[in-house]
Structures are given as structure tokens and as C-alpha cells.
Structure 1
Amino acid sequence: MYSYEELKHFVEHCSRCPLSATRNKSVMGRGNFHSSVMFIAEAPGYQEDRDGIPFTGPSGKIFDELLASVGMGRDEIYLTNVVKCHPPRNRDPEPDEQEACIPYLKYETLLIRPKVIVCLGRIAAQRIIRPDFRITREHGQFLYRKNTWLTAVYHPSAILRDDTKMAETKEDFKAIREKLCTERIFERI
């Protein structure tokens, strides 16, 4: 089994899809390697591409606010993306780009072994939970698969576009915190 550092090296030198030619920096997941919860977004944004760190832009501020609303911080969670390189013009990652990166995400999941996976937004939910997932109807609902609880919430960028989604998303984060506590898995965080 590869270490996190070895996996990060592979991601930094990846050329499996055309996104590698347009990126500034690949963006490997970060956080607590012993966390019970893994948050998965779709792809790095402009600022993340520049910094090489997930959620450093405006969406990151919203994400940090959501974590804080339930008494959590980035040091307690693991945060990553389906795609490790920034798609041009912030477009959605194409299916072939997702497919090229999915082995990295699977390996990250094996390294972290989360008990709860939270998909941030529609793209991640459709890749992780199921292809026809409807974020507006199904956010905050839990599904148990392969010893892991899966759920999805609005992506923080959706909240930037429509701040009325903040209250619902805070409720979803409360449910995530409750799931961690109820399942007696929060002590790993």
C-alpha cells in the first residue's frame, strides 16, 4: 500500500487527462488522516489551482463557517476532490476527467477509512452515491454502503450564489455531526 506522500507524488506528476496540461498545481486532499469523516467536492477552483490546497477561496470560507456551526474544524476532518486539477473556466469536470482521477480518490479513501463520506455538491454526489442523485431533493439523507455512511450537502459555491441554502446546509451539517456521535465514531476525529 502506498503512503499519502507517495500518492501525492503520483497526483503531482499525473498526466492521465488533459487537465494536467492546463493546471498550475494539482490539489491533493488534506486534513486529519485519522478522521472518521471525509468531505469530497468536485474539483479545485481557481484559487485552489494557484495554492495547491483544497477550499482556499470564497467557498472555503463558507465551508469553514459550516464546520464551525457544528463545532468542527479542518484539523478534525479530511477534505478532497473527485478531480485533482482545476477544470478551465470553472466548468464541471467531464466524465473522462473524473474517471482518470477516481483511482486517486479510491486510494485516498483506503488510506483514511472514513465512517462517513459527505459529498459536497451534485457532481461529487452523482459520482460517489449514484448517477441520478438529485441534490435539491436528497441533500442531508444518509445511505449505508460498505460499512460507510454516505450523504450529500450543497456545495459551498451554491451557497455563494444563493445564500438561502445556508440554513438548510447548516441543518445537514448538524445531522452529520449527530451521525458521527450516534454511531460512536466521533472519537476518531
Structure 2
Amino acid sequence: MDSKTEIIKDLRKAMEFYQELGFEHLPVKLSGTDGAPTSATRSKVSERSGVYTADKAKALKELQKEIGDCRRCGLSKGRANIVFGEGSPDAELMFVGEGPGREEDIQARPFVGDAGKVLTSLISRMGLSREEVYIANVVKCRPPSNRNPEEDEMEACGPFIERQTDIISPKVIVALGRFAARRLTGSRIPISRLRGKFYEYRGIPVMPTFHPAYLMRNPRDKWLTWEDAQQVLKRIKK
């Protein structure tokens, strides 16, 4: 495939992504095809050695068993299920959200409701599948009425997201929303100012960006999340 055909293919993918997010026109500030999902990107991101995959999977299962029927904070009183996380133990890219919602609590899986559809679309446009990344939250139980997680709740779950991160050892983490970003970066700067730059969590680059639920309410900011995703793809390819 020549370079011109590849560029056209990449532009088409970018346009399809924006259309799915509800755009009728492309935003003015569009970074061309830089960092856009390409067949080369998919190959690069998907190729994993797998040397320690079995050990990582075992370690994650042991951690999940250790969490057990967790009663470490008040969220346990109202939950239906603990939402541990899911995806590839050998993922290069990890997404960390804030907490489970109603659908997640029912299914015991992260990001399976309406916000999950937005995240899944983003992952797809990055040239990946949910099975190739890892998805988790800073709290494992649903906050009542989908309220924001509180400090003591994030503190109680803190060791678990730390150990998940250590086990998976991704190349990049995407922090979805201000509470995930706060937990992983330690900063209380508004997400609108925090996003677009890399920080560090346990030696791993972290890109804060808007939560998919926020993007559903504020579609004008969706193109900013795509810009963040392009930076993430560039970092993974290094």
C-alpha cells in the first residue's frame, strides 16, 4: 500500500471517529494523521512478547482473591458486585476510571454502560480492542447514586489499583476524569488544565483526559480527548 492510500485510509478512520462522537464537521485544530490509528500502529501495539503473561494473569487472580468480599469502606454496603477490572494482563495501554456505575455494578465489568460505549469507540479508533487493553477504576464498588468517589474510599482501594498497575506494567495509563487523574497524579488542578500532558504514576506515564460520561454531556470537548489519544499512541510507539 503506497503512502497516499495509507493517508486516505487514516483520514477516513479519523472522520468516522468524529462522526461517531456526534461531529458534523471536523474541528479546526486537527493534527492530520499524526498518531491516528493505522494498520502499522495496530501491529506495533498488539505485538507482545507474552513471556510473563501467564504469571501476570495468575498475579491478577491472586489479587482479586485477596480483595475477596471487601468491606474496607462504606461502599460495600450498597454494591451488588465488586468490579475488579478486565482486559489483557500484558496490555501496553491501561485505562483507569473513577468508579463503577449501575450497569457495571450489575455485570461486575468496567465501562459497560453508555459511557462504556464511548470508551469502547475511542479504543477502537486508536486501533485497538478492549481485549488488548486493560480497564479498571480507582474504586471497585459503585458509589451510591453514581456520586463521585470520596477520599477515604479511594484511599481504601488505593493499594489495589497500585498492584494492578505494577502487575500489568503498561507503557501508558490514561486517567479518565478528574478523580482518577487526582488519584494517579496527586494534583487537584482541574482536568481541563491537567489534560494534554504526561505525568507519572509508579514510574509509568499517565495521560489525564475527560471521562466518557463528561464527554456525553459536553460533546464540544470530544476532539480534545482524541488529541490526548494521539499523544498516547505516539508514546506507546516509542
Q: Give the TM-score normalised by structure 1.
A: 0.91
Secondary structure at the aligned position of 2:106 is classed as helix
Instruction: Judge conservation of contact 1:69–1:170 (CA < 8 Å) in 2.
Output: no
Structure 1 residue ranges without an equivalent (≥5): 184-189
- Distance in 2 (CA, whole Å) between partners of 1:139 and 1:19 is 28
Which deviations, in whole Å up to 9, do the C-alpha atoms of 1:19-66 show, x marking residues without a partner?
111100010011010112211101001110010000000011000111
Give the length in aligned residue pairs.
182
| Larger RCO (CA within 8 A; separation ≥ 6) | 1
Which deviations, in whole Å up to 9, do the C-alpha atoms of 1:115-157 show, x marking residues without a partner?
2111001000011112323211121211246531111010000
Greater Cα shift, 72-81 or 50-59:
72-81
Equivalent of 1:37, from 93, 98, 107?
A: 93
Aligned to 1:130: 186
Matched, 1:152 2:208: yes
Equivalent of 1:75, from 131, 150, 155?
A: 131
Q: What residue identity is the alignment partner of 1:20?
A: S
CA-based RMSD: 1.6
Secondary structure at the aligned position of 1:64 is classed as helix
Aligned to 1:110: 166
Aligned to 2:122: 66
Q: Give the TM-score normalised by structure 2.
A: 0.73
Aligned residues with identical type, % of pairs: 37
Structure 2 residue ranges without an equivalent (≥5): 1-54
Q: What residue identity is the alignment partner of 1:147?
A: G
Instruction: Judge conservation of contact 2:207–2:228 (CA < 8 Å) in 1.
Output: no
Instruction: Judge conservation of contact 2:99–2:149 (CA < 8 Å) in 1.
Output: yes
Runs of 4+ in 1 over 4 A off after TM superposition: none
Equivalent of 2:144, from 88, 94, 101?
A: 88
Q: Residues 17-32 of structure 1: matches in 2 within 5 Å?
A: 17-32=73-88
